[in-house]
Amino acid sequence: MKNAIVESNFNLPGQESVYKGKVRDVYNLENDIMVMLATDRISAFDVVLPKGIPYKGQVLNQIAAKFLDATKDIVPNWKMATPDPMVTIGRKCEPFKVEMVIRAYLTGHAWREYKSGKRQLCGIPLPEGMIENQKFVKPIITPTTKAEVGHDEDISREEIIQQGLVDEEEYRKLEEYTYALFERGTQMADEKGLILVDTKYEFGKYDGKIYLIDEIHTPDSSRYFYKEGFEERLQQGEKQKQLSKEFVRQWLIDKGYQGKEGQEMPDMPDSFVNSVTDRYIELYEKITGEKFKKSDVSDVVSRVEKNILEYLK
């Protein structure tokens, strides 16, 4: 897949360091400027899959940019510009060592824990008798630690404060921002016939002030269900129609892979790769209400580099 970026090796003016995450390549420049490239890599179970997904980076970057702009009245965010469909440039903040995961429904990881018999998630008690995809009385925050390598771990509010990962006053602020952002995301999804099921937010500090960082409300950080038919499917115990990365996880699970030791990554046929591209584009159009415009990917790496350099001038 030559029209997908799975790696970048730019040498940008003022470049101090590069960090390559599971999906993003982050270039740290002087003056606390950060260039974040949303590549076409895709990860599941904390493992990067062997093939890139064309247009995935563009989808993620453009959705995130849209939601960062739509929520900056709630909390300031790191974004300064999007000089390329796959790139955001912004302030380099000192990240908090926790991710704020918020859930409105019992699904995904929360359901897997519940089904295994646990009745507490991140210190929050869960009522007996719930069914998969049932709505909580009100959204719950189930934070995770931010792992440099390997899996993020569930952690409770008390443990975060006790371990000094975030002080109590700032953690209260993070909770406040998380609820407000989720409410805004829920409203925006509802207008488009979607349910924002769960998502995660990351925050950092710059000049003593809290900023929202990274991406928000994208299919990599969030799960969306279709509103239409949700109740019927719930009552009949059927799988929900969803727009998220869960279908990739499900495909891997069906092929006997969950990122565990000794398991072999299944081969990704082009037909599957193309179906993932289609799902990402569908989500973009559904959540933004706009037609997705495919950018020119004939020489995607050169295009991205040229656009970054022009902005940095």
Per residue in 107-129, pLDDT (tens digit) is 999 999 999 999 999 999 999 99
119-133, 145-159, 180-194, 227-241 — which is least confidently predicted? 145-159
Q: Decide if pLDDT at 9 tops 80.
A: yes
Overall average pLDDT of the 52-60 stretch: 95
In angstroms, what CA-CA distances link 152 with 48, 53, 109, 146? 15, 24, 12, 6
- What is the reported pLDDT for 245? 80
In angstroms, what CA-CA distances link 182 with 33, 74, 110, 196? 27, 11, 17, 8
- What is the reported pLDDT for 273? 94
DSSP code at position 265: P
Q: Are 248 and 56 in contact (CB under 8 A)?
A: no
- What is the reported pLDDT for 149? 65
Q: Are 55 and 61 in contact (CB under 8 A)?
A: no
- What is the reported pLDDT for 242? 85
Q: Decide if pLDDT at 150 tops 80.
A: no
In angstroms, what CA-CA distances link 69 with 23, 118, 212? 22, 38, 11
Q: Decide if pLDDT at 11 tops 60.
A: yes
Residues 100 and 108: their CA atoms lie apart, in Å, by 16
Query: Which domains, from first to last, does the chain contain?
Result: 95-243 (3.30.470.20)
β strands within the chain, DSSP E: 15-20, 24-29, 33-38, 43-44, 47-48, 79-84, 87-91, 94-95, 98-105, 120-121, 124-125, 135-141, 144-145, 194-206, 209-213, 222-226, 242-243
**Structure token digits, residue 97:** 């060592």
| CA terminus-to-terminus distance, the chain | 31
**% of the chain with per-residue pLDDT over 90:** 89
Q: Decide if pLDDT at 1 tops 60.
A: no
Handedness of CA 51, 52, 54, 59 (dihedral sign): positive
Q: What is the pLDDT of residues 82-113, one digit of tens each?
A: 999 999 999 999 999 999 999 999 999 999 99
pLDDT averaged over the chain? 94
Q: Decide if pLDDT at 178 tops 70.
A: yes
